[in-house]
Amino acid sequence: MWFSCWGPSSVFRRDKAEEELSGSLAMDDEPIPFQLASCNISVPISDGGKERFSFHAIVVETSTQHTAALCERFYELGNPLTATKRYPYTGGYQFVPM
């Protein structure tokens, strides 16, 4: 998964982002190991088309055994418009599953 509107060119502090995401994802109960990384993403412009759109993004990485549980926690995140008040660094971003 990756974050919309949160590219590596943004002012990005990985340690602060990972700490805040752990809080917003309720990692105190049952922690799931993950890390943030910057990379190039390439997605098709249309279904079945050969043209692709490439861009820089911040991605969330975890092991395959934790992927489903981590995705579920991201689906439970609140609305980015209101989450910004509680999580100012990461709350305003929306994740996009891949």
User: pLDDT tens digits for 1-19?
Assistant: 545 455 554 556 777 888 8
Whole-model pTM? 0.68
Query: Domain limits at 69?
Result: 63-91
Q: Report if residue 78 sits inside a domain.
A: yes
Q: Report if residue 10 sits inside a domain.
A: no
User: Residues 32, 73: contact at Cβ < 8 Å?
Assistant: yes
Q: How many domains does the chain have?
A: 1
Provide, rounded to the nearest whole percent, the portion of the chain with pLDDT above 70. Answer: 86
How far is residue 6's CA from residue 89's CA, in Å, rounded to a whole number? 11
How far is residue 33's CA from residue 92's CA, in Å, rounded to a whole number? 22
Q: Report if residue 75 sits inside a domain.
A: yes
Q: Report if residue 86 sits inside a domain.
A: yes
